[in-house]
Structure 1
Amino acid sequence: MVDVLIRTGSVAITGSDIHVYENGNRDVEGMTLGHDATGFIEEVGQCVHHLHVGDRVVVESALSCGICDLCKRGLYNMCGGLVYNGFLATHQVHPADLCHRLPDSISMEEGTLTQTLALGCQACFKGNITPTSSVLIIGSCPTAVAAAMCSTAIGCKQVVIASTMNSTLEMVQKDFKFETVFFDSNALFGEVLEAIYRKFREWPNCVINCAISAMTMNLAVMALQPCGVCVLSECESECASFNALDILMKNIRLIPSFRSTNM
């Protein structure tokens, strides 16, 4: 047996949970809610040696098949048979290798944010952020804040969060002390680009787009330095048209960061 029995500790309700609750149909009728969770180990399988009864753990909720080509290559986040274990129950049987022990210094509530932090970290790693990077993060969702925190931890030269959500940006400024740029969704591109340039005093060489839309994709392409990187992390719109010639002429790399793997 390679599973453990977990008593639920804390659960975070995310945007994907709300989306499933409001828009779910027969295609997701087997999916339960509460995907970001922590818990206490109450029983361990015979083949489990890295966890013990009483351990506090944070869990990866996505269950991959483990046998498809993508899983065998380590890309389990892209598994076509991916299903989710929800944790809005008192107990849950879960694969032991998807449970990670929490340090004593991290509370159960803080632990539920691990998945969000993983998404932000992966976006930064895919953007190859270094201490010489200037990073523009578009969007004000939790992943955007996590990416800003990770960029700062890496020691990047400057990080700025830009969004149309003024109230959220005010919270980000107050609680996290990040520089921000507010722009109206109907604003002219030139006005928004001017505000971004004033903040950086140059153009950024990395954009992490956590609100993908036609507006934000064009902003990213126009704002980036030549040979810059645009990491695509969170979608606001399924379809987003932008200037492909700018991509070619400036040799910009578009890199997707979907779900997280090995984070």
Structure 2
Amino acid sequence: MSHGGEEGKDEEGEEENRAAWLVGVKTLRIQPYNLPPLGPHDVKVRMKAVGICGSDVHHFKHMRCANFIVKKPMVIGHECAGIVEEIGSEVKSLQIGDRVALEPGISCKQCQLCKDGRYNLCRQMKFFGSPPTNGALANLVVHPENLCFKLPDNVSLEEGAMCEPLSVGVHACRRAKVSPQTRVLIIGAGPIGLVTMLTARAFGAPKVVIVDIDDRRLSFAKALGADETIQVSTDIQDVGEEVVKIQNAMDSSVDLSFDCVGFSKSMSVALNATRAGGKVCLVGLGQSEMTLPLTPAAARELDIIGIFRYRNTWPLCIEFLRSGKIDVKPLITHRFEFTQDQVEEAFETSARGGNAIKVMFNL
């Protein structure tokens, strides 16, 4: 956005805040965005890096994602980092000029789930860019201090924005208790499959095999450190032979499978490929209903684990990035600026998929 001349200024000479509003199917408009007042425990953050997530693309293409339906214009985006520009009167942990990564969900803190520490399941969650809550693809946002995490000097703002997708991998690996004894299968080499792979490795998994239908994604996964990659099909008839391929590639049994796709086919492969007494963690939410071979899975005492978003993950994500245990930089394949044309092009690029892994805005 230009800061030259009077463009983007209001009558008092204050800069006008602008945001990318989703106003209809495949229709985004950069328009003024009036922020709520700064509360005593809030900070105002100038956005610098915002990534596009699969759920953003769903909203863009269909005006909905699962049961979340866009009913009125909404600011999009939730993978974000920026620089603190103003702080509320009670803010203690942050100062103006701090570089921060933002956790995008504000829970109620009052319900039983919040009190039990499982705040990611809060029914009253206000989550950036999930209807009806406005998101983060804007010049400025207001956010609670306790959800803004200071970045170390050697972690960039883009990497800070990547803490959000990385958090899904961290939460999945924590829930499934990945350890240096866990041989891991990952189904799906999209952004979430790849961050889950990187996280499983950081948690000590000695062997990680990843499968996908797209050979370009698989070569990307191999370059990122997958031990073996296997190309699979979308045909449910192929489950048996794919399971044999996976077990051969693993050299032994699969202790834990992460389904980062979430279709009947991918989940059937996960259930059949995992050893008796093992675990299957469903990460991807591709279909709301599936037809699955649950009875044989139950007879083999498979544990099926669900995850939703994440909780208490930002400090560990930032430490992984700071220490170099995880490098998310190769995942950022495309960069765009915050202009009307570039916002449209960025979402089209992300929606097309192909060789685009993570599309990032530099504001």
**Which TM-score band (shorter chain)?**
over 0.9
TM-score where L is the length of structure 1: 0.95
- Match 2:270 to one of 220, 232, 237: 220
Counterparts of 1:234 and 1:141, CA distance in 2: 10
SS in 2 for 1:255: strand
Counterparts of 1:217 and 1:175, CA distance in 2: 24
Asked whether the equivalents of residues 11 and 109 of structure 1 are also in contact (C-alpha less than 8 Å), the reply is: yes
Asked whether the equivalents of residues 213 and 233 of structure 2 are also in contact (C-alpha less than 8 Å), the reply is: yes
Map of 1:68 onto structure 2: 111
Map of 1:152 onto structure 2: 201
Map of 1:20 onto structure 2: 59
SS in 2 for 1:227: strand
- Match 2:291 to one of 232, 241, 250: 241
Shifted more, 41-50 versus 79-88: the winner is 79-88
Shifted more, 2-11 versus 58-67: the winner is 58-67
Does structure 1 residue 196 correspond to structure 2 residue 246? yes
Does structure 1 residue 230 correspond to structure 2 residue 274? no
SS in 2 for 1:226: strand
SS in 1 for 2:186: strand
Equivalent residues in 2 for 1:243-262, closer than 5 Å: 243-262=293-312
Counterparts of 1:27 and 1:213, CA distance in 2: 21
**Cα deviation, residue 63, structure 1:** 1.9
Change (3 A) 1:30 1:73: farther
| Cα RMSD (Å) | 1.6
- Match 1:140 to one of 186, 189, 209: 189
TM-score where L is the length of structure 2: 0.69
Map of 2:146 onto structure 1: 97
Counterparts of 1:261 and 1:174, CA distance in 2: 29
**Cα deviation, residue 254, structure 1:** 0.5
Note the alpha carbon deviations across 1:125-175, whole angstroms, 9 max, x for none: 111111111100111121111111111112212011111122211222234
**Cα deviation, residue 203, structure 1:** 1.9
Give the unaligned 5+ runs of structure 2.
1-39, 129-134, 314-363
SS in 2 for 1:185: coil
Asked whether the equivalents of residues 172 and 178 of structure 1 are also in contact (C-alpha less than 8 Å), the reply is: no
Runs of 4+ in structure 1 deviating by more than 6 angstroms, as ranges, are none
Equivalent residues in 2 for 1:109-128, closer than 5 Å: 109-128=158-177
Counterparts of 1:198 and 1:230, CA distance in 2: 19
Counterparts of 1:27 and 1:249, CA distance in 2: 38
Map of 2:85 onto structure 1: 42
Asked whether the equivalents of residues 137 and 160 of structure 1 are also in contact (C-alpha less than 8 Å), the reply is: yes
Give, as a single letter, the amino acid of the residue that structure 2 aligns with 1:215.
K
Counterparts of 1:246 and 1:7, CA distance in 2: 53
Counterparts of 1:178 and 1:158, CA distance in 2: 6
**Cα deviation, residue 84, structure 1:** 2.4
**Cα deviation, residue 18, structure 1:** 1.2
Counterparts of 1:27 and 1:83, CA distance in 2: 14
Identical pairs, percent: 31
Counterparts of 2:215 and 2:191, CA distance in 1: 15
Counterparts of 1:107 and 1:33, CA distance in 2: 22
Give, as a single letter, the amino acid of the residue that structure 1 aligns with 2:304.
L
Shifted more, 170-179 versus 69-78: the winner is 170-179
Counterparts of 1:140 and 1:253, CA distance in 2: 23
Give, as a single letter, the amino acid of the residue that structure 2 aligns with 1:222.
N
SS in 1 for 2:209: strand
Map of 1:206 onto structure 2: 256
Alignment length, in residue pairs?
263
Give the unaligned 5+ runs of structure 1.
none
